[in-house]
Structure 1
Amino acid sequence: MSKINRRTLLGAGASLAGAAAMTTPGSPSATATATATSSPSDPANPYLFDLAGTTPATFDGGNLRGANEENFKVLKDQKSATYLIEIEVGGIREPHWHPSAWESTFIISGQSKWSILGTHPDGKYHNLQFTAGPGELVFIPEGFFHYFENASDSEPLKVLVNFNNSTPEPNDDLGIVASIASLPDDVLDTVFGVPAGSFSKIPKKLEPVTITKRK
């Protein structure tokens, strides 16, 4: 596993915690932000962005709001983008990886279940599965395969995600559905060691990463 700069990680955690406080409903900061600007990006103040006030991208299992170089111009070439993600009960963030960015996720409310797979100096794959709750920070190194889901049966999950890449989602995401769907069925049968035709019925969707929901 590549070495993680602890100062960078601690800095990301501090900024995420601060941002989480600003976007938590009912806090003074959240009220101030809402009244200070009528649009996500305030022309009078290029450093202020109403993340909670943006129109969310909605999916079956939740929604996300983001600040990136396209809608928050100050982020241009700054290698930073932030997303506020809400996962409904039963919701799952599709397994994926980021080819050119690490991910730092702060849990605002709810419970999350994680799986992170990455390469390590011993030449082996290591898969770590765990849960994280309010106030905890999860860091995923660049290129590591991962997913998270709402681990609660009764309340939504709310997280704040920061990337060291200014590009908008999903321009630096590769999801598992599109990854598998892009390969020939016979190749998948061979590498998984299953009978011919086993993958013939999987959906051939080459679409961006989504937030899905258990049926």
Structure 2
Amino acid sequence: MFPRLELLLPLIFCLHSHLVALAWDPDPVQDFCIPNAKGGSNNARAQCKNSTEVTPDDFVFSGVKAPGNFSETGLSAKSVNPATFPGLNTLGMSFVRADLQVGGINAPHFHPRATEIAFVVQGKVYSGFVDSTNRVFAKVIEQGEVMVFPRGLVHFQMNVGESTATVFASFNSQNPGVQKIPSTIFGSGINDELLEKAFGLTLEQIGKMRRRFFPGRKG
């Protein structure tokens, strides 16, 4: 005899929840979905342009031909996602152009929703990540080499060459998210006493770090 439906429903719900938890970006249900600027409907298909209105230009992006402005750490990063490049919408991927001045760094950070693969276009970059056992996997990678950073693990980069380095990186999510460790720790509202005990810093040093990563803060 088959189990009663009311007994199967909780099991079906649990299995569905488990599968959703394991999923990354949802699989597309059509070839592509260029967002419809006119919008105005809650229907997912209606939020996409009619395929007859889509052109090759919708799948071309020219915004990474040159670096952007450099930060005080010597990093210029141009993120490319569906917000800036609509052709990526629903395709489950995004990318970034990163340029590093000589000695410049991409501070330790992680992407909670994506694995990243980085390709060195030019230069020499000390690059690596830290696993959950606190082991560091790092080496200098040069032009033409690729390194992968597993999803959710802290990783970093530093230009160790004699000229500006350029890195193109791709993510297997259209919204990978990013949390930079310095700004997450000192640019947020974490209690000063906790930071003092966790890092062995004085309140004065914590205040200095806060002002660096949270401009305008007095504390």
Aligned to 2:153: 144
Q: Which has the higher strand share?
A: 1
Distance in 2 between residues matched to 1:146 and 1:43, nearest whole Å: 38
**CA-CA distance at 1:143 after TM superposition:** 0.6
Assess, with a 3 A threshold, how the Cα gap between structure 1 residues 70 and 143 changes in structure 2: closer, same or farther.
same
Q: Which protein, 1 or 2, shows the higher relative CO under an 8 Å CA cutoff with sep ≥ 6? A: 1
Q: Which residue of 2 aligns with 1:180?
A: 185
Task: Kindly provide the CA deviation profile for residues 101-142 of structure 1, in whole angstroms up to 9, marking residues without a partner as x.
Answer: 1111001110001231121xxxx2212231111111110011
Q: Contact 1:57–1:65 at 8 Å: present in 2 too?
A: no
Q: Deviation per CA, 1:163-185, whole angstroms, max 9, x where unpaired?
A: 11213xxx711112222113222
TM-score by length of 2: 0.63
Fraction of identical pairs, as percent: 21
Q: Which runs of 5+ in 1 are unaligned?
A: 1-41, 208-215
Say whether residues 1:133 and 2:146 are aligned partners: no
The verdict on how the C-alpha distance between 1:156 and 1:184 changes in structure 2, with shifts beyond 3 A counting, is same
Contact map agreement 2:77 2:98 (CA 8 A) in 1: yes
Helix, strand or coil at the partner of 2:64:
helix
**One-letter code of the match for 2:197?**
T
Runs of 4+ with deviation above 4 angstroms: none
In the TM superposition, residue 66 of structure 1 has moved relative to its aligned partner by 3.5
User: What value does the CA root-mean-square deviation take over the aligned residues?
Assistant: 2.5
2:64 match:
52
Structure 1 residue aligned with 2:20: none
Compute the displacement of 1:48 (Å): 1.9
Matches of 2:69 and 2:90, distance apart in 1: 24
Change (3 A) 1:71 1:43: farther
Residue 8 of structure 1: aligned partner: none
Q: What does residue range 193-204 of structure 1 map to in structure 2 within 5 Å?
A: 194=200, 197=203, 199-204=206-211
Deviations 1:43-82 (A, max 9, x none): 6532222243478354231423333101211211211112
CA 1:148–1:54 in structure 2 vs 1: closer, same or farther (change >3 Å)? closer
The answer to whether residue 173 in structure 2 is matched with residue 160 in structure 1 is no
Aligned length: 157
* Distance verdict in 2 for CA 1:133–1:55, change over 3 Å: closer
- TM-score, normalised via structure 1 length: 0.64
Q: Distance in 2 between matches of 1:109 and 1:83?
A: 15
Structure number with greater Rg is 2
Change in 2 beyond 3 A, CA 1:67/1:179: closer
